[in-house]
Amino acid sequence: MLKRMSYSSFPEDVLEHVFSFVQSDKDRNAISLVCKSWFEIERWCRRRIFVGNCYAVSPRMVIRRFPDVRSVELKGKPHFADFNLVPEGWGGHVYPWIYAMATGYPCLEEIRLKRMVVTDETLELIAKSFKNFKVLVLSSCEGFSTHGLAAIAANCRNLRELDLRESEVEDLSGNWLSHFPDTCTSLVALNIACLGSEVSFSALERMVGRSPNLRTLRLNRAVPLDKLANLLRRAPQLVELGTGAYSSDLRPEVLSNLAGAFSGCKELKGMSGFWDVVPAYLPAIYPVCSGLTSLNLSYASVQSPDLIKLVSQCLNLQRLWILDYIEDSGLEALAASCKDLQELRVFPSEPFGVEPNVSLTEQGLVCVSEGCPKLESVLYFCRRFSNDALVTIARNRPNMIRFRLCIIEPQTPDYLTHQPLDTGFGAIVEHCKDLRRLSLSGLLTDRVFEYIGTYAKKLEMLSVAFAGETDLGLHHVLSGCESLRKLEIRDCPFGDKALLANAAKLETMRSLWMSSCSVSLEACKLLGQKMPRLNVEVIDERGPLDSMPESFPVEKLYIYRSVAGPRFDMPGFVWNMDEDSALRLS
């Protein structure tokens, strides 16, 4: 006798239980497409949502589909906003989302925002709307002050995480921290590294003292080194520590006190901060070096010999962010000691200097690519490179997934052959088959884009500047890169043809940014009118578009897919190119 399994008779709560093991958004989305009943069950039990572009969908639509969400993550401005290419006032306001969720998601527990404008009013609304609020992460956000933080501190009784990473906060008073009631003992993570002025140290100390679950503490620069030891003694269970200013008058007791405090931190895995470093105090952290997996020294103006001494003790290091003071010699030492290294970021100490101030070249990166078999993520600023070096790196590290190279002077050719760096980057995409993110620099022709279109099948994000020769370059990328989600281009001679020919591709991507290129107003209008599910936004500060000739290249263009239609909060220098807008423009 045949027993037939009928999926439709599977009890709902069993399905729900099964779905609870599936956390990734992609998989959840796939589940929801199986059939109507699965769609229904899944949407009721989805607890976390991620919206990569806050304008791609409206808060109302989200709340309607997913009625019981506990965790929301939103991103606002385009990535190039980090480099001041997006004028102030562009948008990315989170308030409409919070307002909608205040009624739609009263049980909301976590909010994570990136590159969004957050006002004090927003923070106050969060503080009073969500009774069980636990996690607030504001990454590269702006628009709020310490008053807003005070509201969060005072009202969120069960707050676990307050992380302000690299946000711009108007510092009105350090007293906001004192608004945490003495009964608040739930803190797990506190990151105030971006705050400019002093927070009340006694409030901080008390807070740390009564938070037994505190795992992450990132102090701001205003916390002096001689107070650090006391804090550490109250929180020996810390896993991640960001120091304040790492300098003090040289007094032996401070050093020994600090070293003693660090010895007590047996769980410490990650360190950051290190502003204003006085090298004589670096040995204080030697007791914890062997346990460190993550080290951010990217604000530490310390010379190579001291850096080498430090880094060669961190045998378990997986992630290192550092300034180019480390030089090739330091990277050689790194390659010899840190065999578990996965991520390396080398930042420029003098990005605007014309002459190199340190001896950091392509050699350093080549060394690390040879010595560190797990190296998969690289951000490297330097002043010269060669195709040979790129080919070597590509061959050494086919496991590379993120490769961002910034040769500081635009359009710098291979320093050995004076050729473009097409073949070098070509080798990267050819060998590194799982490459997800790539940033190009140096002298590049259309050829590099041909390689990228041919080989970079897993590439999700591409950043291009001062590269290429004709529309063919852009066409290679748009037609060849199957996994492309984000493309950002500045100062390249790409115009209308490639864009219009690949219009359909744009609906498969999250967004396209093009600034200082050669895309005409006419092409933007055409795209906007033909593609209703794209928001084609022209950003142009030169004046009203209606007096601009159609053939004129626009200053900046931001195209993103959206089911929410044109947004309502565009400032005066942003125009949407859809049909209605086009009518208004003419």
Partner 1 sequence: MEVGLKMANMLGAADRDLNLKETELCLGLPGGGKTEPETPKTGNKRGFSETVDLKLNFQSKEAVDLNEKNNINNSSSSKEKNLLSSCTKDPAKPPSKAQVVGWPPVRSYRKNIMAHQKSSSQEDGEKAAMSGGSSSAAFVKVCMDGAPYLRKVDLKMYKSYQELSDALAKMFSSFTMGGNYGAQGMIDFMNESKLMDLLNSSEYVPTYEDKDGDWMLVGDVPWDMFVDSCKRLRLMKGSEAIGLAPRAMEKCKSRA
Site string for partner 1, 330-349 (x = CB under 8 A): -----------------xxx
Tokens of 160: 């676990």
Specify the residue, 11 or 572, whose C-beta has the smaller distance to partner 1.
572
The span of 198-206, 249-257, 446-454, 546-554 binding partner 1 (CB under 8 A) equals: 546-554
166 phi and psi angles, rounded to 5 deg: 55, 25
Instruction: Count other Cβ atoms within 10 Å, centred on residue 340.
Output: 16
| Cα 426 to Cα 390: distance, rounded to the nearest angstrom | 9
The span of 22-30, 122-130, 528-536, 551-559 binding partner 1 (CB under 8 A) equals: 551-559
Helix ranges restricted to H, 162-224? 201-209
572 contacts partner 1 (rule: CB under 8 A): yes
| Cα 81 to Cα 451: distance, rounded to the nearest angstrom | 28
Smallest separation (angstroms) from partner 1 to the CB of 296: 12
Tokens of 523: 């092409």
119 contacts partner 1 (rule: CB under 8 A): no
Site string for partner 1, 260-279 (x = CB under 8 A): ---------------xx---
Size of the site for partner 1 (CB under 8 A): 53
The span of 205-213, 312-320, 350-358, 506-514 binding partner 1 (CB under 8 A) equals: 350-358
| Cα 205 to Cα 502: distance, rounded to the nearest angstrom | 57
Name the burial class of residue 219, with classes exposed (0-12), middle (13-18) and buried (19+) by CB atoms within 10 angstroms of its CB.
Answer: buried
Smallest separation (angstroms) from partner 1 to the CB of 294: 18
Site string for partner 1, 136-165 (x = CB under 8 A): ----x-------------------------
403 contacts partner 1 (rule: CB under 8 A): no
What residues pair up with 378 in beta bridges, in sequence order? 344, 403
Restricting to residues 358-397, name those near partner 1 by CB under 8 A: 381
Smallest separation (angstroms) from partner 1 to the CB of 120: 15
Smallest separation (angstroms) from partner 1 to the CB of 548: 6
Smallest separation (angstroms) from partner 1 to the CB of 425: 17
Nearest to 50 by CA among 84, 70, 74: 74
CA dihedral 405, 408, 409, 415 (to 10 degrees): -60
Specify the residue, 215 or 476, whose C-beta has the smaller distance to partner 1.
476
Q: Are 538 and 554 in contact (CB under 8 A)?
A: yes
| Cα 75 to Cα 461: distance, rounded to the nearest angstrom | 15
Half-sphere exposure of 20 (CA within 13 A, CB side): 7
Tokens of 34: 């199986």
| Cα 184 to Cα 531: distance, rounded to the nearest angstrom | 51
Smallest separation (angstroms) from partner 1 to the CB of 569: 10
166 contacts partner 1 (rule: CB under 8 A): yes
Interacting residues toward partner 1 by CB under 8 A: 80, 82-85, 87-89, 140, 166, 168, 194, 275-276, 298-299, 301, 347-352, 354, 381, 406, 408-411, 439, 463, 465-466, 490-493, 516, 518, 541-544, 547-549, 552-553, 555, 571-573
